[in-house]
Amino acid sequence: MRKQIAAANWKMNLTLQQGETLIDELLNTPHELTENQLAVFAVPFPYLITIKNKLAGKKNVFVAAQNCYNKKSGAYTGEVSAEMLKSIGLEYVILGHSERREYFNETNAILAEKVNICFENGLQSIFCCGEPLSIREADTQNSYVETQLKESLFHLTAAQLTGFVIAYEPIWAIGTGKTASSDQAQEMHAPYTQRNGKTIRQRGG
């Protein structure tokens, strides 16, 4: 059965106290996830351990980091490595968010390195892809997203790509008042996407 993943990215918002209150309110909401449903909270780095402890024992509910660095270790002040995330028991990390691509100049090549280092540390990537408005208006969104996937993921083996979590994130629909239709999302985020002879299993979004 296809997995359904609801991932909430807090971005750079909320104090620790506000975050704890939010999680408490969500946990007190009467709702039980089924076996094929996952909820993931991507919280700021300082809150990862605290929120993870709050969610301990909750069925199908996880904490994710919003990013990680593309190097194992070294003199990279202010960065957080995949190994560090693994050491605190994290399972998920967001990679390739549109804001990371736009504001921090993360290229497809850099993201390929991040994907590799997450695999090395047993972290499940939630890989974001999507096109800006100019690309959608030019009707070249398919080739644009294909390039993102190809340059960041297609060095992986077929086994690694099986079950890979890809989140289609149409940048033109973020804070613009424009809305992606279900048909547009499904076209890009089908259960199986065949690219250059490799099949990627897509889950969530």
Q: Are strands 124-129 and 198-201 parallel, antiparallel or unpaired?
A: unpaired
In degrees and rounded to multiples of 5, residue 111 shows phi and psi of -65, -35
Angle at 55 between CA 128 and CA 95, to 5 degrees: 15
* Candidates 31, 97, 137, 189; catalytic one: 97
**Is position 31 annotated as part of the catalytic site?**
no
Tell me how far apart the alpha carbons of residues 82 and 192 are, in angstroms, rounded to a whole number.
28
DSSP H/E element including 29 = none
* Candidates 106, 131, 169, 189; catalytic one: 169
**Is position 97 annotated as part of the catalytic site?**
yes
Q: Cα 203 to the chain's mean position, in Å?
A: 11
The one-letter code for the residue type at 40 is V
Which residues, 6+ apart, have CB-to-CB distance to 90 below 8 Å? 48, 52, 63, 64, 65, 123
Catalytically annotated residues: 97, 169
